[in-house]
Amino acid sequence: MKFNWGTGIVIAFIAFISFIMYFVINMSTNDKYNHELVTEDYYKQEVKFQEDINKQNNAKNLAHNLEINKTNDGLVIQFPEEMDVTKISGKVFLYRPSDKQSDFETPISLSTHNLLIPDTRLSDGRWNIKVDWQYKNINYLFKEDIQY
């Protein structure tokens, strides 16, 4: 068999395809590479997207929206001063993009206008905060990404 440029091109194509197939199979089967969706029920949440937009618009129409401040004790979520704290309810979701096990949810239970999320529950890095709350039967949604 004679080795010419045509044979070299065929060998190069076969080597390139083998190289790509190795990486595709390696990435698909190796547990080190995590291929999770952002949430388990991603498609159900997509249907509720317009509802979330309406809640965010309600929050934008407030005179004072929520504020998130970092303190030595943890994160403080400050609710508007003009609202009665006994009529505020809802949940706070904290999502850690780099570590699914760190995600948690806490109910809103207020005695003052501040809700403290303890420093012990938060590790350094990026957090996505989602506060889904109600006041006088009006739903509000506040989202923010922070570096802790």
When pLDDT is cut at 50, 70 and 90, the band that residue 39 belongs to is low
More confident residue, 40 or 37: 40
What is residue 37's predicted lDDT score, i.e. its pLDDT? 58
* Topology at the third CATH level for domain 42-147: Immunoglobulin-like (2.60.40)
pLDDT on residue 36? 62
Say what the pLDDT of residue 3 is: 81
Measure Cα distances from 128 to 30, 122, 125, 137 in Å.
28, 12, 10, 25
Q: What are the helix and strand counts (H, E) for the chain? A: 3, 7
Is residue 43 pLDDT above 80, yes or no?
no
In the chain, where are the structural domains located? 1-35, 42-147
User: What does the H/E/C string look like for 8-71?
Assistant: HHHHHHHHHHHHHHHHHHHHHHCCCCCCCCCCCCHHHHHHCHHHHHHHHHHHHCCCCCCEEEEC
φ, ψ at 114 (rounded to 5°): -115, 140
Q: pLDDT tens for residues 24-37? A: 998 888 777 666 65
Which residues, other chains included, contact 112 with Cβ-Cβ below 8 Å and sequence gap of 6+? 85
Q: Are 122 and 136 in contact (CB under 8 A)?
A: no
CB-based contacts of 95-99 (< 8 A; 24+ apart in sequence): 95/38, 95/127, 95/128, 95/129, 95/130, 96/123, 96/125, 96/126, 96/127, 96/128, 97/38, 97/126, 97/128, 98/125, 98/126, 99/123
Q: What is the pLDDT of residues 57-108, one digit of tens each?
A: 999 988 888 899 888 888 899 998 888 888 899 999 998 887 778 888 999 9
Among candidates 125, 118, 78, which has minimal Cα distance to 99?
125
At 139 the pLDDT is: 93
pLDDT value for 34: 64
